[in-house]
Amino acid sequence: MDEFAALVERPDAGVRRDSQERWAGLVRPAGGLGKVAELADWLAAVQGQAVARPITRPRLLVFAGDHGVAALDVSANPAGGTAALVRAALEGGTPAAVLAREYGAQLRVVDMGVDCDPGELPADVTAHRVRRGSGRLDVEDALTPEEAEKAFRTGMALADEEADSGTDLVLLGDLSVGGTTVAGVLIAALCGTDASVVTGRGSGIDDLAWMRKCAAIRDGLRRARPVLGDQLALLAAVGGADFAATTGFLLQAAVRKLPVVLDGVVSAACALVAQRVAFRAPDWWAAGSAGGEPGQAKALDRISLEPLVDRGVRVGGGTGALLALPLLQGAARLSAELAL
C-alpha cells in the first residue's frame, strides 16, 4: 500500500496550462465555454497533451457483490439479491445498460462476491470471485485479510487490463445489496462523522429501514475505528470484496494514468479509502453525478471533487457516471477539433 503514494503522480500541470491558454485564442467571449473548457483542460492533463484526444473507447466497469449486513433489512432489495441485478444488467434492461449502448461504452460486470452459485452467472463474470457474499460487518469481519488482499490485487490487475487494452476512460459502477450501508460506514469512519450524517435512503427505504440502517452503520463504526490507519484492514473489517477491488482498481488506474469517472456513494467511499493511500490519486478521477446520498456528498467534498451532473439519479450500476460521459466526450471533441 505504501508504494502507491510514490507511484501515483499528478497529471501534467504544464499541459493543463497549455490547454487553458489555447482557449484564449479559440473562443469568444473569453471563458465562453465555462466549465466545459475546464473539463477539456483536465482531459488534456490526464492524457498528457495540450490538445485532448476524443474519447473513443470508454468502458463501463461494474463491480458486484452481496453484503451480509443486508440481512438486517437495510435495503429495499432482498438480502442476497445482487445476482438478479447482475443478470438484468447483462441482459441490457437496466438504465446503465441502456445508456452504455447509447453512448458507446462497453459494459463489463465483475462478480467479486455475489451470493449465488457461480453457475447462475456467465463464467467471464464470476472468474474473479473472491467469496460468496461477505460477513455481517456489525458483528464480524466482512473478509479475511487474505480475501481482502486478493480482491484488492484483482482490482489492480483489472486496471492494468483496461489500460493495456486501450480503454481511454472508465465509468465505474457497482451492483450490490447492502452496499450503501457499507459505504456509509467507510465514509463516516474516514470523515469522523456520526452515522446519521451519512445514512441515506439507498435503494428507496422507508423510515424504519433508515433507522435500522443508521444503527448498522453505527455498529460498523465501532469495528472500523480501531483499524483506520490500515486501509486494507479497514476494507476487510467493514468493506467487502467489491469495495476492496474497486479501491485497488482506482489506485492502479491512477498509477497507469487511466482516467476514471465515479458513479455513486459506493465508488465515492472507495475513492475516499484510496485517497488515504495516495493523496494525488483523486487528480485522475472525476465525479459523474450527484445522487442525493449524504454520504456521497461528504466523501466527494473530502476529496475535492464536484459532480459533473446533478439530476438526483440514484439507480446505480454506473448510471450517474454514464450521464457525465457526453459532457466529457463533448469537451474532448471541442479541444481536438475547434482549431481545425
- Determine the pLDDT at residue 26: 87
pLDDT at residue 70 tops 80: yes
Assign 283 a pLDDT band (cuts: 50, 70, 90). Answer: very high
pLDDT of amino acid 71:
97
Q: Mark out the alpha helices in the chain (DSSP H runs).
A: 2-7, 13-26, 35-47, 82-90, 95-103, 123-126, 145-165, 179-191, 195-198, 207-224, 231-238, 241-255, 265-277, 294-302, 319-323, 325-337
- The pLDDT value recorded for residue 142 is 98
The CA-based angle 187-78-177, given to 5 degrees, is 30
Residue 2 has a pLDDT of 81
Amino acid at 295: G
Q: Stretch 177-201: mean pLDDT, rounded?
A: 97
Residues 6 or more apart whose Cβ sits within 8 Å of residue 116: 80, 82, 83, 132
Lowest mean pLDDT among 25-29, 64-68, 108-112: 25-29
Confidence bin at 28 (pLDDT 50/70/90):
confident
pLDDT computed for residue 103 by the predictor:
97
234, pLDDT greater than 90: yes
The mean pLDDT value for 269-282 works out to 98
Question: Which of 27-31, 123-127, 143-147, 187-191 shows the lowest per-residue confidence on average (mean pLDDT)?
Answer: 27-31
pLDDT of residue 340: 56
Say whether pTM exceeds 0.85.
yes
pLDDT category, 151, cuts 50, 70, 90? Answer: very high
Label residue 32 exposed, middle or buried (CB < 10 Å: 0-12, 13-18, 19+): exposed
The mean pLDDT value of the chain amounts to 96
pLDDT band at 24 (very low <50, low <70, confident <90, very high): confident
* pLDDT of 178 over the 70 cut: yes
Closest CA to 108 of 163, 143, 39, 58: 58
Q: The C-alpha cell of 110 is what?
A: 465483475
Alpha-carbon distance of 161 to 199, in angstroms, equals 35
Sheet arrangement for strand 169-177? 106-113, 58-66, 169-177, 260-262, 285-287
Cα-based torsion angle of the residue sequence 284, 185, 60, 276 in order, rounded to the nearest 10 degrees = 20
Mean pLDDT is highest, among 14-23, 202-211, 214-223, for: 214-223
Q: Please report where in the chains the cell 453505527 appears, as a residue.
A: 218
Residues 6+ apart with CB under 8 A from 200: 180, 184, 265, 292, 293, 294, 295, 296
Residue found by looking up cell 503514494 in the block: 5
List the one residue out of 146, 119, 108, 117 whose CA is nearest residue 130. Answer: 146
- pLDDT at residue 32, as a whole number: 86
Express each pLDDT in 30-42 by its tens digit: 788 999 999 999 9
Averaged pLDDT, 88-93 = 97
Per-residue pLDDT of 293-330, as tens digits, reads: 999 999 999 999 999 999 888 899 999 999 999 999 99
Gap between the Cα atoms of 235 and 269, Å rounded? 11
Burial of 78 (0-12, 13-18, 19+ CB in 10 A): exposed
Asked if 138 contacts 127 with a C-beta cutoff of 8 angstroms, the reply is no
Which pLDDT does position 311 carry in this prediction? 85
Tell me: the pLDDT tens digits for 102-120?
Answer: 999 999 999 999 999 999 9
For residue 291, is pLDDT > 90?
no
Q: How far apart are alpha carbons 151 and 226 in whole angstroms?
A: 22
Q: Helix, strand or coil for residue 59?
A: strand
| Per-residue pLDDT band at 251 (split at 50, 70, 90) | very high
Closest CA to 103 of 59, 64, 61: 59
Q: Which of 203, 194, 186 is nearest to 73 (CA)?
A: 203
